[in-house]
Structure 1
Amino acid sequence: MKRLLFLFLVLACCTAVRQDLAGKAFTFPVESNTAYVKLTPAVNKIFHTATVCLRFFSDLSRDQSLFSLSTPSHANGLLLFKNPKGEYDLCVANQCIPFPGLPDELNEWNSLCGTWDSGAGLGQLWVNGKRSARKALSVGGTIATAPSIMLGQEQDSYGGRFDKAQSFVGEITDVHMWDYVLPPHEIQSFVNYVSFTPGNVLSWRALEYIRQGRVVVVDSQIDCCYAVKSLG
């Protein structure tokens, strides 16, 4: 009986589930190199453009990974990373560029969006509605198929090689990814918690994921209304 219960718990932990997570958040309560959430994208394609938006809450000022997409050819296929003193990095196809001078509110919810366009070779970040300058990033590059997408850890290789000192500690919610550059008015809608088009690659309203290690799903405790426009 104990063995059957153990096998049930293992399968429950390692089986992807799809949920509407509106009003919920993933909490990473301790620093570790074992806790993460693996996300399953709704489409499997080569990306030439992309946008990722999310909200995070943390009291750490050290390095930590906010969104890690790895591919068999590039460990940092698409990475959103926060450095000390409010500097953020956006990485695409293993090329990383820093974005200093953006908001960095500890113990507050922060809204973060990153965009990338291969044709223009430009990347940009938005934090709490404040935009960065556009910077040269991976011109002509691509994000390959079969991505490994994780919250809570930074992948130094495809699907693994986690560093405890770069793990995320705090709460993450409202994760969306699009296969195009989201226009500024839609980014502002996301920041302001008003109607926006959910991600067509990842959508918080229909998220397929697996939790591993010490990760808890909790109420996000954000005083807002989740007025989200349906796709189509």
Structure 2
Amino acid sequence: MDLKDRIEKLEAEIGPAALNLTDTSVGAGGAGSSSTSSGGGSSNPTSTSGKAPVPFPGGAPSPSAPGARRPGSPASPVPKPPSKGSSGRKGTWRVEDLEGELERKIKMLEKERQAMRKETQGQHEKINQGIGSVTDRVTELEHTLTEPSFPEGFVLSFPMRTNYMYGMVRKEITEMYAFTACLWLKAKEGGIGTPFSYSVPGQPNELVLLQGVHNPVELLINDKVAQLPLSLPQDEWQHICVSWTLRDGVWKAYQGGKMKGRGEGLAAWHPIKPGGVLILGQEQDTLGGRFDASQALVGEISQFNLWDRVLKPAEVAALADCSSSALGNIAPWTDHDVDVYGGATKESLDPCHAAQRSSLNSPKQ
């Protein structure tokens, strides 16, 4: 059977469309190669342009078989499947790339937010500092405008026995190995109460001067007590001073510039502790508070000064006869260093002039 008869037979069996293949549809060197020996070694046709194609031995390959091409498809290599996450089109982002870009953007935005937050905090601190400075200045101006000045001296007045009227010394108290406290005092009732009390954490009676009803004047240091030989009549200005040193606990008591008594063994070698609260007119049962009305001062005090040394007798006498106006280096008597609370008042008065007038008006013996 010649070649033409064979082709016609195949066309009748499988149809001519299945044979519409080019000569490159079969791998080289395998069955069904583009060249077949027949008769005298003549070449077979290589295209479908008017010539018969070379048949596959054993029949045509299935279009759905692996590696097979549909009839009539061009001779081109099989395209690779698109990589994971790719749509198969040129220039598109992969999922991994998008995630990385988003993560980078998030980190950049977080850094910017932190920088803005830090800058904002710095601005807030500057604003708060400015507000604080303005507030302090306003408070100072208000105090200057509302608080009367006392160029000729002032007194603190405690008109009744309460547990809420008191004065407070603003100055910070340092550690003291000796002291002298002096003041002018005018009692309104028998038993003057407490002219001053100094309390520290853990010890409300670190330094106290008081007199109860029907009791002598007492000086307390670290809860140790010394009775002072002082006599304080009502409605008369009296100048009193008390001094003490931790060496042997020696104390001295002055009235009217004259020493009325002395003693020793009062809280010897115990330094007065720093950082406490100094109250005028009340005795403290806790640091800065829990006052007892029965121990409150009823009357007036003025020129309260505190030194961290023992004054000489001549210095005490000069204070008592008003020839000296020395201020204490620990607690000075100035209107801006002493505040009043609970109804206690500041009144303009010079106790030296008042005492001199009282002595002039008193009948001679």
Bin the TM-score by the shorter chain: 0.7 to 0.9
| Structure 2 CA distance for partners of 1:32 and 1:200, relative to 1, 3 Å | same
Alpha-carbon distance, 1:103 to partner:
2.7
Distance 1:197 1:169 in 2: 26
SS in 2 for 1:165: helix
Is 1:31 matched up with 2:161?
Answer: yes
The alpha carbon displacement at 1:44 in A equals: 3.9
2:179·2:308 contact (CA, 8 Å) conserved in 1?
yes
Match for residue 129 of structure 1? 257
3-state SS of 1:132 partner: strand
**What secondary structure is seen at the aligned counterpart in 1 of 2:289?**
coil
Taking only the aligned residue pairs, the percentage that are identical comes to 26
Q: 1:84 to 1:205 in 2, by over 3 A?
A: same
Seen in structure 2, the aligned counterparts of structure 1 residues 56 and 94 have a Cα distance that, compared at 3 Å, is same
- Report the CA distance between 1:24 and its aligned residue: 0.9
Change (3 A) 1:20 1:95: farther
Aligned counterparts, 1:97-112, within 5 A: 97-100=226-229, 102-112=230-240
CA positional deviation for 1:209? 2.6
Q: Secondary structure at the match of 1:224?
A: helix
1:82-97 map, 5 Å: 82-84=211-213, 87-97=216-226
Is the contact made by 2:174 and 2:330 (CA closer than 8 Å) also made in structure 1?
no
Q: Which has the higher helix share?
A: 2
What's the counterpart of residue 45 of structure 2?
none
Matches of residues 199-210 of structure 1 in structure 2 within 5 Å?
A: 199-205=328-334, 207-210=336-339
Aligned to 1:228: none
- Count of matched residue positions in the alignment of Structure 1 and Structure 2: 210
Larger radius of gyration: 2
TM-score by length of 2: 0.53
Gaps of 5+ in 1: 1-7, 226-232
Query: Relative contact order: is structure 1 or structure 2 higher (C-alpha 8 Å, sep ≥ 6)?
Result: 1
Q: Distance in 2 between matches of 1:164 and 1:126?
A: 27
Whole-angstrom CA distance in 1 between matches of 2:236 and 2:173:
34
Task: Supply the AA of the counterpart residue of 1:145.
Answer: P
Specify the alignment match of 1:229 in structure 2: none
Q: How much is the aligned-residue C-alpha RMSD, in angstroms? A: 2.5
- Deviation of the 1:91 alpha carbon: 1.1
TM-score when scaled to structure 1?
0.82
Contact 2:239–2:256, Cα closer than 8 Å, also in 1: yes
